[in-house]
Amino acid sequence: MNEISNSLVAADVAHSMHPYTNMRAHEANGPMIITRGEGVHVYDDKGKEYIEGMAGLWSVAVGFSETRLKDAAMKQMEALPYYHTFAHKAHEPSIRLAEKLAEMTPEGLDRCFFTNSGSEANDTVIKMVWYMNNALGRPEKKKFIARNKAYHGITIASGSLTGLPGNHRDFDLPAIPVTHVTTPHYWRFAEEGESEADFCARLLKEIEDTILAEGPETVAAFIGEPVMGAGGVMVPPEGYWEGVAAICKKHDILLVADEVICGFGRCGATFACEKFGFTPDILVLSKQISSSYMPLAAIMVTDAVYDAIADNSAKIGTFGHGFTGSGHPVATAVGLENLKIIEEKGLVANAAALEEAFIGGLHAAFDDHPLVGEVRGTGLIAGIELVAAKTAASAFDPAAKVGAKCADFAAEEGLISRAVGDVMALCPPLIITEAQINQIIERMGRALDRTLDWAKAEGLV
């Protein structure tokens, strides 16, 4: 390691507080410093090349160092580097991107509100829903239903919707009225002898029973990721989302699709709600909207939601919510160009076409691996769940950190993955090729074999 790298490591350990990190462990181990990226690859400060198997954080659709996005940012910086969208102010990039999103998203989702992140977007959704129901004379209709293992962000409100213990513990969350129902993951949560259809029916009954127990007049919205990402990459059983949509409609409850990870082709369709056969009242978008080159998120709502909010803003005199960077001109210019690239390069179709090579390839390679309980996924997002004895019931003790060890081995093999507990998540850029998918599978295979040897030596299997 050279002198500059040593200096950076020391400065990082001395001054930086990292998200989703054991800070004391970080003091001991230091950071992996990434210095550049190109296509599906990134490089560390020692020059080592990695396939970025997580597209950053589920997000770099068009790959790293896309010249068109750099040029779009520079062009906008030269023309108008910043302006806000408060109090009737506007600029062309945010107008054009809102127009584009209305064109791309399912029919009826024609109104757009910009934020800087998915967490801010879901926080805003909560406020919009409360504001709307107050406007409609339904002040008691404020509760949300979410799912265990859901991920919807980390603000006080959006973090309350999230269903992961590590996001709640010692943060005093949940802090809003939310009930979490069963994770729609058949392999892990089905009862003995229960078919997938029966499992789905049981979960739908649980949702409706929860609504009836809380009182439909008090439940405002159901929120969910079409495919759950940060909770462990879980694809719902057939018929789940159609059933949820029917229950929400029956009880006059808004349906919120959090497509922060799923949107813009990740699941092999432009939006995963289209793939799973439902249209939400509110659609939340981020990550691949700009390939995370700039912080950006968008909330799309129906006219019914918009009209209630707009009428109340006329009554009060304002919609008293927004961010300094809402609809930032550079971010929206980059987002607009990013969506053009996704369309022009056929990246949604690429994700669909490579699903068999990716998901099928992972199944073929690892279904029989001694450490693998389940391979799952859709499009270009997958999870490999590690267990001691091939069954859901044989999960490792979380304290063993088997997934984290596997991620370390994968990095040594030149693959960046993400350990979600003991689920190895993979979510490569949408520009990936079949040959590069094969490299991911080969490198993950070596990492799994090394993890198995380590687990045997530790007496874990």
Q: Do 56 and 197 fall within a single domain?
A: no
pLDDT at 1: 52
Host domain of residue 188: 69-344
DSSP 428: -
410 in helix, strand or coil? helix
Q: Is 183 within 8 Å of 147 (Cβ atoms)? A: yes
CA end-to-end span of the chain, whole Å? 36
Please identify, among 344, 373, 405, the residue that sits at the C-terminal boundary of a domain: 344
Q: Give the containing element (helix H, strand E) for 222.
A: strand 219-224
**227 domain residue, yes or no:** yes
Q: Do 139 and 39 fall within a single domain?
A: no
CATH no. for residue 393?
A: 3.90.1150.10
| β-strands 34-38, 41-44 pairing | antiparallel
Tokens of residue 339, six digits: 């969506």
Tokens of residue 110, six digits: 């024609």
Q: Do 164 and 58 fall within a single domain?
A: no
Q: Do 113 and 177 fall within a single domain?
A: yes
**439 domain residue, yes or no:** yes
Which of these, 270, 258, 260, lies nearest to 107 by C-alpha position? 270
pTM of the model: 0.97
pLDDT at 372: 98
For the chain, the domain total comes to 2
Q: Do 327 and 370 fall within a single domain?
A: no
Contacts for 344 with CB less than 8 Å, ≥ 6 apart: none
**401 domain residue, yes or no:** yes
Q: Do 320 and 367 fall within a single domain?
A: no
**16 domain residue, yes or no:** no
CATH no. for residue 121?
A: 3.40.640.10
**18 domain residue, yes or no:** no
Within 16-46, residue ranges assigned H as helices are 23-29
Which of these, 255, 341, 290, lies nearest to 116 by C-alpha position? 290
Q: What residues of the chain score a pLDDT lower than 70?
A: 1, 4
Count the Cβ atoms, other than its own, within 10 Å of residue 391. 12
| β-strands 111-115, 282-285 pairing | unpaired
**27 domain residue, yes or no:** no
Q: Which residues pair with 49 in a beta bridge?
A: 43
**211 domain residue, yes or no:** yes
Q: Do 414 and 441 fall within a single domain?
A: yes
Q: Do 312 and 363 fall within a single domain?
A: no
Q: Do 414 and 285 fall within a single domain?
A: no
Q: Do 121 and 36 fall within a single domain?
A: no
- Cα–Cα distance between 64 and 40 in angstroms, integer? 7
Please identify, among 289, 311, 344, the residue that sits at the C-terminal boundary of a domain: 344
Please identify, among 315, 344, 373, the residue that sits at the C-terminal boundary of a domain: 344
Contacts for 424 with CB less than 8 Å, ≥ 6 apart: 383, 384, 385, 386, 403, 406, 407, 410, 417, 418, 444
Q: Do 41 and 157 fall within a single domain?
A: no
Q: Is 292 within 8 Å of 56 (Cβ atoms)? A: yes
**19 domain residue, yes or no:** no
Q: Do 294 and 391 fall within a single domain?
A: no
- Cα–Cα distance between 287 and 280 in angstroms, integer? 19
